Amino acid sequence: MTLSFIIPCYRESREQLNHALDSLLFLNALCDWEAWVVDDGSPEGKVCEWVAERNDRHLHAVRQDNQGLSMARNAGMDRARGEYVAFLDADDELIPEQYAALVTLLLRERPDVLGLRYKATRTPYYDGEALAFMAQHDVVPSACTYLIRRALLEGLRFTPGIYHEDEEFVTLLFLRAHRLIMTPVVAYRYNVTQGSIVRKRDEAHLSKRFNDMLGVIARLQQKSQDYVHSSNVTCVTDADSLALKALTRRIHVLAMCLVVALVREGSSTSLVRTSLARLSALHLYPLPPFSGIRRYAWIRLLTLRPWMVNVLRKVKRVFF
């Protein structure tokens, strides 16, 4: 089995990149592997040189004009040749011992998707249909927490130029997958750096983040309508019904997460009001009734009206 890692790199230091690449070396004892480092137009222009100097046959590097994380990952996927594909950000690291156990599991079981964690969770070990999992559980929204059979990625790419690209990509991935093994194993070290999008709080940045999330929700809604339309004109299958159920749950969770983000991070009343109006146009605000998610129910009650959202913005540390 060959495992392909895709590592987008932009403005990360040589030291950061080396830490990421060093965390892959345990794979030498487990399987054949390759890593594609995609330099997304880093100003220094030395990423390919840094990779070449390591003189490791497993490592490949390519440079492109700066086009953003999505396009860098897409470029890596276009070049990957492994049976399975995984993602690693250049400022993060694998946790070798735990990740090695997962690779061993992957070699033995060969699922469509194998999931791991970057922080501890109560979600139990799962082995079954990916759609059934998404219909009942929250999925980890980070693409870096999955090892994916490359055949599943045919025609599936990250949407360019947006934040929250993982939310959309992972949801669409689950709609394609059959057998999923989801583990509680923490095997990925996610490092929040100073330049991370979760640290930026200026209004222009937040506006783009909220707009991009609304775009993701709208596209997933359209996907769900395709399933509804299909069921109206043809004999609906159990798989289609389960896909619609899973997608509907995912859409409601994303709407809830957007409302919470507006409470926590909304920098101005006008930005919050505009975002809620757009969510309302998607018939997702006020949050519609939805059963099966406990926290959804109480967040819905706390945010039924815009004035409630504005009040919560002032006392957010109490509730969020």
168, 189, 210: which is the final residue of a domain?
Answer: 189
Determine, yes or no, domain membership for 293: yes
244-293 tens-digit pLDDT: 999 999 999 999 999 999 999 998 999 999 999 999 999 999 999 998 89
Residues 36, 64 within the same domain: yes
Residues 183, 219 within the same domain: no
Rounded to whole angstroms, the Cα distance separating 140 from 167 reads 9
160, 189, 218: which is the final residue of a domain?
Answer: 189
Phi first, then psi, for residue 179 (nearest 5°) are -80, 125
Determine, yes or no, domain membership for 195: no
Domain that holds residue 221: 201-319
CB 86 within 8 A of CB 7: no
Contacts of 275 (CB under 8 A, 6+ apart): 210, 211, 214, 258, 262, 266
How many domains are contained in the chain?
A: 2
56-65 tens-digit pLDDT: 999 999 999 9
70-121 tens-digit pLDDT: 999 999 999 999 999 999 999 999 999 999 999 999 999 999 999 999 998 8
Element (H, E) at 129: strand 126-129
Residues 149, 61 within the same domain: yes
CATH number of the structural domain spanning residue 122: 3.90.550.10
Helix then strand count (H, E) for the chain reads 12, 10
Mean pLDDT (the chain, rounded): 93
Residues 184, 76 within the same domain: yes
Determine, yes or no, domain membership for 174: yes
pTM: 0.94
Determine, yes or no, domain membership for 222: yes
134, 157, 189: which is the final residue of a domain?
Answer: 189
